[in-house]
Amino acid sequence: MPTADVILGSISIILANGMMGELTPRMAEAIASAPALKILLPLPRTGVDIVGFIPEPLPHLVEKAITGRLKEVLQHV
């Protein structure tokens, strides 16, 4: 069975019927249940309010994910 060390995506990838219905409940369950570290971008289009989230443009969120947590994880691989 293929595995991943890190999964990077919008928070909607762990929500059943997320991404405007394109993500099935089984897909969301598989991603959420995967042992890999999940780095989730809090994109506001999911219909879920994230308390304390300050809206930022997608390029800024991706930059933070890559230069922050993902870089930290990759240094230990």
Question: pLDDT tens for residues 49-70?
Answer: 888 888 899 999 999 999 998 8
What is residue 28's predicted lDDT score, i.e. its pLDDT?
94
pLDDT of residue 46: 64
CB 64 within 8 A of CB 37: no
pLDDT at 27: 94
Residue-wise pLDDT tens digits, 26-50: 999 999 999 999 999 988 776 788 8
In Å, what is the CA distance from 55 to each residue of 11, 33, 62, 65, 75? Answer: 14, 27, 13, 15, 28
Q: Which of 29, 38, 33, 28 is nearest to 5 (CA)?
A: 38
Interstrand relation of 6-10 and 37-41 (parallel, antiparallel or unpaired): parallel
Q: How confident is the model at residue 75 (pLDDT cuts 50, 70, 90)?
A: confident
